[in-house]
Each structure stands twice: as C-alpha cells, then as structure tokens.
Amino acid sequence: MNRTSSRLAVLVFGGVALAGSFVAPAMAAPSSPISVQSWGDCPANNVCVWTEGNFAYAPTAYGSPAFRTLNAGDHDRVSSWGNKTRYQYCLWDNGNKVLLDTLPPNRGRHTMPDGTNDRADAIGRC
C-alpha cells in the first residue's frame, strides 16, 4: 500500500469509526396519560368544583364568593368540590332554594352525597 492509499485507508476507517460513534438517540419515552388532578390543584382562598368525582381533572376555582351562580360548564355537573377558604360554604340547586351540601373551611368532598351529584348550580357562604 503506498502512502496515499494509507492516508485514504486511515481516513475511510477513521470516518467509519467516527460514524459508528454517533449512535442515534434513544427514542423518547411515550408521553404519560392525561394527568389526573387532585385536591391540591384547588388554590388557597377558593372554592373549587370538579365535574368528575375524586377531584379528577382540572377544577374550576371560585374566589370565595358570598354567592355565585356556577359557570355554564359546571352547572348541573358538579361531582366533587372543595373549600379552601376560612368560611363555611353551601352548594345549591335552583339558585338558593335547595341546599345540596355544606363544607366547613379547608374540607373537600371527593364524592357528592347521595342524590346530589350533577345537580348544583350555585355556591355561597352558609
């Protein structure tokens, strides 16, 4: 092998060795399933409602209202709720005509009492 061939061989084999050192990156792990939310996702000083039981998915936070009609997306869909305020709160059906449930300060209900699921349309201080 002459000198030019030797250099070419070194370059070719060096290139192969170098190319071999560039391994394709490992496949990224598949993304995790949709995150299930929790009681901890209700901000302090808010009353929160979830349209699923067990505090599943993202809550709607209501900033400690004296009385408030629930947003359209929560109306007649509340399946769990939490009270992170210093006041006792009531959950109502038909405005403030039918009391469905009460929660003292810093308490949550992961499942609505019998006969009250998906009926609430308002919250307010008791």
The domain ranges of the chain are 39-125
> How would DSSP label each residue in 62-100?
E---SEEEPPTTTTTT--EEEE-SSS-EEEEETTTTEEE
More confident residue, 6 or 108: 108
What's the average model confidence in pLDDT over 19-26?
38
Is the pTM higher than 0.75? The answer reads: no
Tokens of residue 18, six digits = 């170098």
Average model confidence (pLDDT) across the chain: 79
Mean pLDDT of 25-34: 36
Query: Which pLDDT tens digit goes with each residue over 63-90?
Result: 988 999 999 999 999 999 999 999 999 9
Residue 59 three-state SS: coil
Does 39-125 carry CATH code 2.60.20.10? yes
Is pLDDT at 62 greater than 50 in this prediction? yes
